[in-house]
């Protein structure tokens, strides 16, 4: 289905920003888009650098343990990419004036593009969008209000369900998603082979037989038109086969094993500690390696997702030092 691929929901929204002046708490006036930019600029990011780690803050979206990535961008106007291309010979023959202005797209107001990548729930009718939005609201309502209060219609949002419905009204279909993790390759056997075409032809022949019976019984038609049965069956079979292919092609890739956020965090936790163990045991004897690996398994508990694990929104697990690259000036050579 659209928006879902490999067990992840890829949300794309384009939200109109309110126009007109807005008054700050100090009495000054500004534009809603300026307030939106200030809210986004002051929003803590994930702890992905030494500076952000030392600040001690983390992204509020990390409180939702289904959220992998969130991106928010204010769009004032679409970027101008130059003139629409065309065949140079045709333009010359038609004497097209390349200096004449072409129509340019313009937005009537700024828009907020809000995108999110989170764990889908394909058993739910909407793929898990409503439950994710409601859970995000419950955990980050103050931050969400600071961001979206400059947007059209957000003043009516007062609950997680209302927030989910408001996002749904601003949603665009994501047809070209970027999955961050490896997903299993689906089996295409039977989907792009004669199996699908045979199924389509069988459906077409069945429909044609029903049509013939209906025509003979209801319309009392003569049998001459049955000469069209072969090309009609072929045409209906081709259409049905294409419909089967289209249906199969619209299905999402299967969910990858261990690609949900808790599994990813656990894998990062185990990976970092295993790297430290490997560095520790570089020159150890076999008995020490065997003993330390057993202790390692007991410490990290690979089969236990909940704990110990890496916290969301950080680049390293607790107890793992963040490596920083410092520039060491080279000594000047003697002349």
- Can you tell me the distance from the alpha carbon of 102 to that of 81, in angstroms, rounded to the nearest whole number? 12
Q: Is residue 333 over pLDDT 50? A: no
- Can you tell me the distance from the alpha carbon of 148 to that of 270, in angstroms, rounded to the nearest whole number? 37
194-205 mean pLDDT: 59
Q: Is residue 328 over pLDDT 50? A: no
Q: Is residue 280 over pLDDT 80? A: yes
pLDDT tens per residue across span 232-242: 666 666 677 67
Torsion of CA 277, 278, 282, 288, to 10 degrees: 50
Among 98-102, 143-147, 224-228, the least confident range: 224-228
The token pair that represents 180 in the structure block: 């961050």
pLDDT at 209: 67
pLDDT at 156: 93
- Can you tell me the distance from the alpha carbon of 129 to that of 125, in angstroms, rounded to the nearest whole number? 9
Q: What is the Cα 125 distance to its own chain's centre?
A: 18
CB 72 within 8 A of CB 113: yes
315 CB-near residues (< 8 Å, 6+ apart): 46, 47, 48, 49, 53, 322
pLDDT at 251: 74
pLDDT tens per residue across span 28-74: 999 999 999 999 999 988 887 777 777 778 899 999 999 999 999 99
pLDDT tens per residue across span 166-195: 999 999 999 888 877 777 666 655 544 545
147 CB-near residues (< 8 Å, 6+ apart): 36, 39, 40, 43, 72
Q: pLDDT band for position 117 (50/70/90)?
A: very high
pLDDT at 331: 42
116 half-sphere exposure, CB direction, 13 A CA radius: 22
136-164 mean pLDDT: 95
Q: What percent of the chain stands above pLDDT 90?
A: 44
CB 9 within 8 A of CB 3: yes
Q: Is residue 335 over pLDDT 70? A: no
Coil, strand or helix at 250: coil
């Amino acid at each position: 289905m659209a928006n879902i691929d490999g067990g992840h929901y890829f949300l794309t929204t384009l939200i109109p920003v309110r126009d007109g002046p807005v008054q700050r708490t100090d009495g000054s006036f500004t534009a809603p888009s300026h307030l939106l930019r200030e809210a986004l600029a002051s929003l803590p990011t994930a702890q992905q650098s030494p500076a952000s780690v030392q600040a001690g803050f983390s992204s509020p979206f990390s409180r939702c343990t289904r959220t992998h990535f969130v991106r928010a961008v204010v769009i004032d106007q679409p970027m101008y990419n130059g003139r629409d291309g065309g065949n140079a010979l045709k333009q010359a023959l038609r004497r097209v004036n390349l200096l004449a202005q072409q129509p340019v797209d313009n937005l009537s107001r700024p828009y907020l593009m809000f995108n999110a990548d989170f764990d889908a729930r394909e058993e739910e009718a909407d793929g898990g969008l409503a439950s994710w939005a409601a859970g995000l609201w419950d955990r980050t309502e103050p931050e969400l209000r600071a961001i979206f209060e400059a947007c059209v219609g957000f003043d009516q949002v007062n609950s997680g369900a209302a927030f989910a419905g408001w996002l749904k009204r601003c949603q665009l279909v994501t047809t070209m998603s970027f999955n961050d993790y490896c997903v299993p390759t689906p089996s295409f056997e039977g989907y792009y082979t004669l199996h699908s075409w045979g199924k389509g032809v069988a459906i077409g022949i069945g429909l044609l037989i029903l049509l013939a019976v209906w025509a003979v019984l209801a319309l009392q038609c003569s049998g001459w038109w049955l000469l069209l049965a072969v090309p009609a069956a072929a045409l209906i079979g081709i259409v049905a086969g294409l419909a089967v292919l289209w249906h199969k092609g619209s299905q999402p890739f299967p969910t990858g094993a261990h690609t949900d956020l808790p599994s990813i965090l656990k894998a990062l936790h185990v990976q970092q500690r295993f790297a430290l163990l490997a560095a520790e045991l570089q020159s150890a004897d076999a008995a020490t390696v065997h003993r330390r690996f057993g202790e390692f398994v007991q410490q990290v508990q690979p089969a236990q997702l909940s704990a110990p694990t890496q916290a969301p929104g950080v680049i390293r697990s607790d107890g793992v030092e963040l490596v920083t690259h410092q520039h060491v000036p080279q000594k000047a050579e003697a002349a």
